[in-house]
Amino acid sequence: SLGWIEVICGSMFSGKTEELIRRLKRAKIAQLRVEIFKPASDTRYHDEDIVSHNQNSIRSTPVLSASEILLLAGDCDVVGLDEVQFFDESIVEVANSLANQGKRVVIAGLDMDFKGIPFGPMPHLMAIAEYVTKVHAVCVQCGDVANYSYRIVDKEETVLLGETESYQARCRACFQASI
Ligand code: ADP
Ligand code: MG
C-alpha cells in the first residue's frame, strides 16, 4: 500500500520543529521505524540533533543533498524532514518516491522567506502533500498571530542562518509597517 506526505509549515518560531518532533516521537511509541533527516547546512543548535526553540530534541542524520535521503531511508516506515526549504527542487521527487514506497513522509519547513516570498521547494511540496498544517508564532510587536519571519539585520541573502538575533516573528500589520 502507498504512503503519504504531511507538511508542517509556518514562520520562524511557529512551532514547526516542535510539531515534527511530536509526530515522530508518537510514531516511535507506535513501534514504527523512524528516520529523520535535515540539511547539513543547518547546524544552528547541533550537528545531528533536531532541536526546537523550547529545547525538545530528536536524533537526525544531516545530509548534503536530497538524493542521499533515498539511499539512507532504507526500510523505515516513517521519514521526518526538518528545514526542508533549504533543499533544492529534487526533494519533491524524493518525497514522492518515499511515499510511493509506502512510507509516511513528515516534512517541516518555512513557507516564506524574510521577504514574504514562497521559500524554495515548499510551495510544490504543499501542493502534492495529502495533509498540510500551518502553525503560527506570536507577533513580538503586538501579540497577534504571526505569519511572517522579519529580518532585523541588514543582509540581503535569502539563506541567513540565525535566530532571535536575526529574525522576529511578526503579524501582517507589523511586517508591512517595516518593509
Ligand atoms: P520553528 O521550528 O517553527 O522555528 P520551534 O518548534 O523550534 O519553531 O519553536 C517553537 C517555540 O518557540 C515555542 O513553543 C516557544 O517556546 C518559542 N518561541 C520563541 N519566540 C516565539 C514567538 N514569537 N512566537 C511563538 N513561539 C515562540
Ligand atoms: Mg524549526
Domains of the chain: 4-136 (3.40.50.300)
Supply the pTM of this predicted model: 0.96
The partner residues of 170 in beta bridges, in order of sequence, read 148
- Separation between Cα atoms, residue 178 and residue 175, nearest integer Å: 6
Cα–ligand 1 centroid distance for 73 (angstroms): 28
Share of the chain above pLDDT 90, in %: 81
ipTM for this model: 0.98
Whether the per-residue pLDDT at 163 is higher than 90: the answer is: no
Cα–ligand 1 centroid distance for 138 (angstroms): 8
17 CB within 6 A, ligand 1: yes
The partner residues of 169 in beta bridges, in order of sequence, read 149
Whether the per-residue pLDDT at 42 is higher than 80: the answer is: no
Alpha-helical (H) ranges within the chain are 16-29, 66-73, 91-100, 122-128, 172-176
Question: Buried (b) or exposed (e) across 28-57, using 16+ Cβ within 10 A?
Answer: eeeeeebbbbbbeebeeeeeeebbbbeeee
Per the residue annotation, which of 6, 19, 35, 83 is the catalytic one?
A: 83
Atom of ligand 1 nearest to the CA of 18: 6
Atom of ligand 1 nearest to the CA of 10: 3
Cα–ligand 1 centroid distance for 13 (angstroms): 3
